[in-house]
C-alpha cells in the first residue's frame, strides 16, 4: 500500500541522508543562494532545507503537509537557527506574497494532481524575478535499465507492475515546461542531473536501507515478502560489484524565472 506520510513510524524516513555534493554543485552552478530568502516546498525531512541554509541562505522556510515529517525535519535541523518549518501544502503554503528569492520543489510534483495550482502558488510567494526550481523524474528518467548505480531499474525488472505505478505518477518534461509558462514563469533552462543518492559501504548496509524502505515511497507498494525477494534479487545483480556501492538517480531539473 502507498506510504502514509502522516504515520509516526515514517517520521524519520526522509531525514537519514544529507544532500550530496552532486546536488549542491548543481545548485551553486545555476543560482546564487547566498543571502537569499528561500522556501523549500514539500521539504519532507528537511534534507535539502538544511543544505540550502548551509549554502548561505539568510532564511529557509520548509513547508510540508505532514506534521510527522515536520517533526522529523525539526529534530534534524534543530542546530541551524535560520531554518523554520511550517505546515502547509503546495497549493496553499500559508507563506506571504512576494517574499522569496528562490523556491525549491524537489521530488514534489509527482505527488500532485494539479501542477498549475502548485506553480501559481510558487509564483505568488516569489519576488519579481525570483527563481522556481522544480526537480523530479520524468517517465524517461525512471525507466532506465538497472545497473550498479541505477538500482531503481532493478525494482522494475523484478516487479514489472511497479513500472505502471511509477510512470503514471510522473509528468512529461514538456508538460512541466508548458504549465510553468502558463503560470507566469519564463523557463530559463532544463538540465539532467545524475544525483548520488547514497554511498553504501557494503551490501549489508544497502540491504538494511532497502528493507526499511528508507526514503523510497515506491517500495511501500510491496509486501514484506516481496520486499525480501527484491533485496535478494538486487544482491544477486550486484554480486560482481566492488564495495562501496554508489547509488545514483537521474533527475530532470527545471529553472523558471517569475515574469
Q: What is the DSSP string of 206-255?
A: HHHHHHTTTT-GGGGGS-HHHHHHHHHHHHHHTTTPPSSEEEEEEEEEEE
Residue 192 to residue 199: CA distance in whole angstroms: 20
Would strands 59-64 and 37-41 be described as parallel, antiparallel, or unpaired?
A: parallel
Range of the domain at 95: 8-144+167-198+248-258
pLDDT at 2: 55
Residue 52 resides in a domain: yes
Residue 54 resides in a domain: yes
Give the pLDDT band (50/70/90) at residue 16: low
Q: Is the dihedral of CA 73, 170, 111, 160 positive or negative?
A: negative
Q: In what order do the strands lie in the sheet with 37-41?
A: 83-87, 59-64, 37-41, 100-106, 126-136, 245-258, 185-200
What angle do helix axes 21-30 and 47-54 make, rounded to 10 degrees?
A: 50
What is the tens place of the pLDDT at every residue in 21-72?
999 999 999 999 999 999 999 999 999 999 999 999 999 999 999 999 899 8
Element holding 109 (H helix, E strand):
none
pLDDT at 217: 87
Element holding 125 (H helix, E strand):
helix 115-125
pLDDT at 215: 84
The fraction of the chain above a pLDDT of 70, given in percent, is 94
Higher-pLDDT residue of 218 and 9 is 218
Q: Mapping DSSP to helix (H, G, I), strand (E, B) and coil, where does residue 133 land?
A: strand
Number of other residues whose CB lies within 10 A of the CB of residue 109 = 25
pLDDT at 79: 86
What is the tens place of the pLDDT at every residue in 122-155?
999 999 999 999 999 999 999 999 999 999 999 9
Residue 151 resides in a domain: no
Q: How many domains does the chain have?
A: 1
pLDDT at 3: 45
Residue 241 resides in a domain: no
The structure's pTM equals 0.91
Residue 70 resides in a domain: yes
Higher-pLDDT residue of 76 and 170 is 170
The fraction of the chain above a pLDDT of 90, given in percent, is 86
Q: What is the DSSP letter of 142?
A: H
Residue 20 resides in a domain: yes
Averaged pLDDT, 88-100: 98
Residue 217 resides in a domain: no
Spatial CB neighbours of 22, under 8 Å, sequence gap ≥ 6: 193, 194, 195, 196, 248
Contact 44, 105 (CB under 8 A): no
CATH number at residue 91: 3.40.50.150
Residue 11, pLDDT > 50, answer: no
pLDDT at 214: 85
The chain-wide mean pLDDT, for the chain, equals 92
Contact 194, 22 (CB under 8 A): yes
pLDDT at 18: 82
Element holding 2 (H helix, E strand):
none
Hey, which of 25-34, 74-83, 235-244 has the most confident mean pLDDT? 25-34
Residue 94 resides in a domain: yes
Residue 123 to residue 103: CA distance in whole angstroms: 9
What angle do helix axes 203-211 and 224-237 make, rounded to 10 degrees?
A: 160
Amino acid at each position: 500500500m502507498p506510504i502514509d506520510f502522516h504515520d509516526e513510524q515514517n517520521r524519520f524516513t526522509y531525514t537519514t541522508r544529507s544532500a550530496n555534493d552532486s546536488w549542491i554543485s548543481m545548485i551553486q552552478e545555476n543560482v546564487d543562494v547566498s543571502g537569499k530568502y528561500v522556501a523549500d516546498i514539500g521539504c519532507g525531512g528537511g534534507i535539502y532545507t538544511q543544505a540550502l541554509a548551509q549554502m548561505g541562505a539568510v532564511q529557509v522556510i520548509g513547508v510540508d503537509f505532514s506534521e510527522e515529517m515536520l517533526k522529523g525535519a525539526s529534530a534534524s535541523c534543530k542546530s541551524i537557527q535560520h531554518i523554520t518549518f511550517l505546515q502547509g501544502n503546495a497549493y496553499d503554503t500559508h507563506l506571504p506574497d512576494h517574499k522569496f528569492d528562490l523556491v525549491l520543489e524537489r521530488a514534489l510534483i509527482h505527488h500532485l494532481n494539479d501542477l498549475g495550482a502548485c506553480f501559481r502558488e510558487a509564483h505568488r510567494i516569489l519576488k519579481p524575478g525570483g527563481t522556481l526550481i522544480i526537480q523530479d523524474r520524468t517517465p524517461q528518467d525512471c525507466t532506465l535499465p538497472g545497473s550498479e548505480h541505477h538500482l531503481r531499474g532493478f525494482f522494475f525488472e523484478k516487479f514489472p507492475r511497479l513500472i505502471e505505478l511509477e510512470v503514471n505518477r510522473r509528468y512529461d518534461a514538456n508538460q512541466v515546461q508548458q504549465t510553468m509558462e502558463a503560470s507566469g514563469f519564463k523557463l530559463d533552462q532544463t538540465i539532467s542531473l545524475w544525483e548520488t543518492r547514497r554511498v553504501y559501504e557494503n551490501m549489508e548496509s544497502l540491504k538494511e536501507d532497502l528493507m526499511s524502505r528508507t526514503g523510497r515511497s515506491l517500495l511501500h507498494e510491496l509486501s514484506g515478502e516481496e520486499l525480501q525477494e527484491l533485496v535478494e534479487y538486487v544482491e544477486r545483480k550486484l554480486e560482481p560489484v566492488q564495495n562501496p556501492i554508489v547509488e545514483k538517480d537521474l533527475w530532470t531539473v527545471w529553472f523558471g524565472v517569475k515574469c
